[in-house]
Chain A
């Protein structure tokens, strides 16, 4: 017992001790001459973007060295919060999830970078997510959007026509069932689609595509049609059941990459992963492409409309303790990372930058990237809404919605009952506690 309390609060107290005890002094050195910026990131072995940006910036600003500081991906925010509170955090740190942006912004741990934002203009997607109190607090350098991946080889084997960008979710469900039946008839073990266990695979689309839906309203009825469809697909055997996916720790990379499912909705980061895994043999070699995510209504389908999808930007913020003389350099780094040069460097390693239009050519020159027009359309044209709209309630409400997701998808609770319970919890525990 005593140990448990210590475990939970040991860190807290340690933070507070350091907080009152010391704060890091400004770095000495002048604004001209060699400078060193520190940049926080995570899992450098599998996340090469930080090094790409650091090297790219150094190439254009030879005076400035960007030093990388690695954090654990799973505990990035916990460790960053501790380091910031202790005054030991790097000069520039990535906003790994939008969910925690409020914590940093409200906690006064971000420098105002409105001047950088105003110079970048509106081509950089996701910038509005980092705005609060009339100012911009972080600059997005990548903006992933969710798309529909499909396995052309399996579609051909089943004799089902490929996605053409005109799909609603009902079309998607019909196709998935048809694929499952025809693949079975053709002697394949693959099923129609794979839906990963994350709550975003259902809730992200429901929130983005339903007009008037917000998390903060505490009204979650917009989720119902999306859950009904997911449950229907799983009960029809067209996708792996949630419980089997969780207990067997299935990975979406293996489910799609090893041809266990013909379709999968996933973020655009998976493009680079799949390319890499097909090269290393972690994924099988097959023909694939990606289409815009299925839509709620026909109004946003077709290549003349702009498909609505979701995805959170990943941004860079500046630690307010950076010291006056390095501020300008850090802002230059942010401008580089979000601007056309940074975008091209990122696209060169398969990352979806915040400015997709500028890098279309670079991106589709990568070996193995699908060359069809629909993939190019899906990559460049989308109305990407944030999965975690910034608010002080977001983190707590997302936890409630996560409980709803596991309860519904495991079949432990009916959709209506789970939504009612979540709404009650949202009201009593978060919105008017």
Chain B
């Protein structure tokens, strides 16, 4: 008769112990996340409704920052430029990464070497890369324009020194830098596709293109989704490449949202307004990511 509560108590203790153990495993990471990410992000939603110059308290201004954002031409420019970058950067990087992955998935001599080469830009310091690329793009003396002149183009673009060509130049560098990383993800994805599927397709008489369409692409679907989500978020928050290559210039031709936030916050000390712009950027990314998830779920059903 006394064994029943005892067993229950024992089970209760077991549950408690498991919970504590579970939490203690989570804790080191969660504390870091909470202190460095969660709390700041939470505070962001407060500061967005205030006027705050770092010193002293923030002054509650209600929707004032958002009203200002509505007719802030620079914010619109930054948003437009960010979308411009994203629209080209995502498909270009996706295509380049997939092509590289397919190429380097072959049984080639020295394939490891070439994989390393493709990954190299991703792990190299962005400041050094920007310096070198800027020299390559130099309108007067750069090798890129020397080649263009060599093949008969009389007025090659000014690249990072021209308002029309600075964004394409930055997109080229952004794509070149990140394709190695996404290639790696695609390579991992390719390993998961069973070889028998290719054999079966071959037996059915499918050529290389048909095998790619019918076997590789569907097999890579989860990877592609993951890559697209990462790329979207990465493109919207692009910052370092632009900061060191053009610093948003010439004029405002490459000003993007993250940089605008940085400028308003850390250069002009308008942390309230910078927070409000951050929320706008957060909302954009959030909505797009949700849409992507919905589309993906529909596709798999």
Binding site for B on A (CB under 8 A): 1-10, 12-17, 78, 81-82, 84-85, 103, 106-109, 241-244, 246-249, 395-396, 399, 403-404, 406-407, 409-413, 418, 424-425, 428-429, 433
Given known A4-B239, A9-B43, contact A242–B135 (CB-CB < 8 A): no
Name the CB-closest residue of A to B72. Answer: A429
Cβ-based interface call for B174 (8 A): no
A248 touches B36 (CB 8 A): no
A395 touches B262 (CB 8 A): no
CB<8 Å pairs between A and B, sample of 21: A1-B236, A1-B281, A1-B285, A3-B237, A5-B44, A7-B239, A8-B258, A9-B275, A12-B271, A82-B54, A242-B161, A244-B139, A248-B135, A249-B134, A395-B268, A406-B251, A407-B249, A410-B249, A412-B253, A418-B251, A428-B72
Which residue of A2, A108, A413 has the most chain B CB atoms within 10 A of its CB atom?
A2
B54 touches A85 (CB 8 A): yes
Taken together as a complex, chains A and B put the C-alpha atoms of A293 and B44 apart, in Å, by: 48
Within 8 Å CB of A424, what residues of B? 73
Cβ-based interface call for B282 (8 A): yes
Given known A108-B56, A396-B268, A407-B251, contact A433–B68 (CB-CB < 8 A): yes
Instruction: Quote the shortest CB–CB distance from A207 to chain B (angstroms).
Output: 19
Binding site for A on B (CB under 8 A): 36-37, 39-41, 43-44, 47, 53-56, 68, 71-74, 131, 134-135, 137-142, 158-164, 233, 236-237, 239, 248-253, 255, 258, 261-263, 265-271, 274-275, 278, 281-282, 285-286, 289
Within 8 Å CB of B250, what residues of A? 406-407, 409-410, 412-413
Taken together as a complex, chains A and B put the C-alpha atoms of A14 and B266 apart, in Å, by: 14
Given known A8-B262, A107-B55, A247-B134, contact A410–B41 (CB-CB < 8 A): no
B269 touches A246 (CB 8 A): no
Which residue of B43, B250, B267, B274 has the most chain A CB atoms within 10 A of its CB atom?
B250
Instruction: Quote the shortest CB–CB distance from B47 to chain A (angstroms).
Output: 7
Which residue of A13, A248, A424 has the most chain B CB atoms within 10 A of its CB atom?
A13
Taken together as a complex, chains A and B put the C-alpha atoms of A10 and B274 apart, in Å, by: 13
A410 touches B237 (CB 8 A): no
A411 touches B162 (CB 8 A): yes
Within 8 Å CB of A242, what residues of B? 161
A106 touches B53 (CB 8 A): yes
In the complex, given contacts A2-B282, A428-B73, what are 20 additional A-B residue pairs having Cβ atoms less than 8 angstroms apart?
A4-B281, A5-B40, A6-B37, A8-B261, A8-B262, A9-B265, A13-B40, A81-B54, A106-B53, A108-B55, A108-B56, A241-B140, A244-B139, A247-B161, A406-B250, A406-B251, A410-B162, A411-B161, A412-B161, A412-B162
Given known A403-B249, A418-B251, contact A244–B73 (CB-CB < 8 A): no
Within 8 Å CB of B158, what residues of A? 243, 410-411
A395 touches B269 (CB 8 A): yes
Name the CB-closest residue of A to B71. Answer: A428
Within 8 Å CB of B138, what residues of A? 243-244, 247-248
Within 8 Å CB of B262, what residues of A? 8
Which residue of B237, B251, B255, B262 has the most chain A CB atoms within 10 A of its CB atom?
B251
Instruction: Quote the shortest CB–CB distance from B271 to chain A (angstroms).
Output: 6
Taken together as a complex, chains A and B put the C-alpha atoms of A243 and B164 apart, in Å, by: 14
Of the residues A4, A78, A106, A404, contact of B266 by C-beta under 8 Å:
A78
Instruction: Quote the shortest CB–CB distance from B162 to chain A (angstroms).
Output: 6
Instruction: Quote the shortest CB–CB distance from B12 to chain A (angstroms).
Output: 37
A413 touches B251 (CB 8 A): yes
Within 8 Å CB of B135, what residues of A? 247-249
B268 touches A8 (CB 8 A): no
Instruction: Quote the shortest CB–CB distance from B133 to chain A (angstroms).
Output: 9
Of the residues A3, A7, A244, A395, contact of B140 by C-beta under 8 Å:
A244
B139 touches A247 (CB 8 A): yes
Of the residues A9, A13, A107, A411, contact of B53 by C-beta under 8 Å:
A107
Name the CB-closest residue of A to B138. Answer: A247
Taken together as a complex, chains A and B put the C-alpha atoms of A217 and B255 apart, in Å, by: 25
- Which 4 pairs, one residue from A and one from B, show the smallest C-beta to C-beta distance? A243-B161, A407-B251, A107-B55, A13-B40
Within 8 Å CB of A85, what residues of B? 54-55
Given known A247-B138, A425-B73, A428-B71, contact A5–B163 (CB-CB < 8 A): no
A12 touches B40 (CB 8 A): yes
Given known A13-B39, A103-B53, A241-B140, contact A247–B251 (CB-CB < 8 A): no
Name the CB-closest residue of A to B158. Answer: A243
Instruction: Quote the shortest CB–CB distance from B236 to chain A (angstroms).
Output: 6
Instruction: Quote the shortest CB–CB distance from A140 to chain B (angstroms).
Output: 22
B36 touches A10 (CB 8 A): yes
Taken together as a complex, chains A and B put the C-alpha atoms of A2 and B42 apart, in Å, by: 11
Taken together as a complex, chains A and B put the C-alpha atoms of A78 and B137 apart, in Å, by: 31
B140 touches A246 (CB 8 A): no
Name the CB-closest residue of A to B288. Answer: A1
A247 touches B142 (CB 8 A): yes
A10 touches B281 (CB 8 A): no
Which residue of A4, A247, A404, A406 has the most chain B CB atoms within 10 A of its CB atom?
A247
Instruction: Quote the shortest CB–CB distance from B35 to chain A (angstroms).
Output: 8
A5 touches B278 (CB 8 A): yes
Given known A6-B36, A403-B249, contact A13–B72 (CB-CB < 8 A): no
Given known A242-B161, A395-B267, contact A109–B55 (CB-CB < 8 A): yes
Taken together as a complex, chains A and B put the C-alpha atoms of A8 and B47 apart, in Å, by: 13
Within 8 Å CB of A412, what residues of B? 161-164, 250-251, 253
A406 touches B249 (CB 8 A): yes
Instruction: Quote the shortest CB–CB distance from B178 to chain A (angstroms).
Output: 15
Taken together as a complex, chains A and B put the C-alpha atoms of A15 and B140 apart, in Å, by: 46
Name the CB-closest residue of A to B160. Answer: A247
Taken together as a complex, chains A and B put the C-alpha atoms of A8 and B72 apart, in Å, by: 20
Within 8 Å CB of B261, what residues of A? 8
Which residue of A3, A6, A242, A249 has the most chain B CB atoms within 10 A of its CB atom?
A6
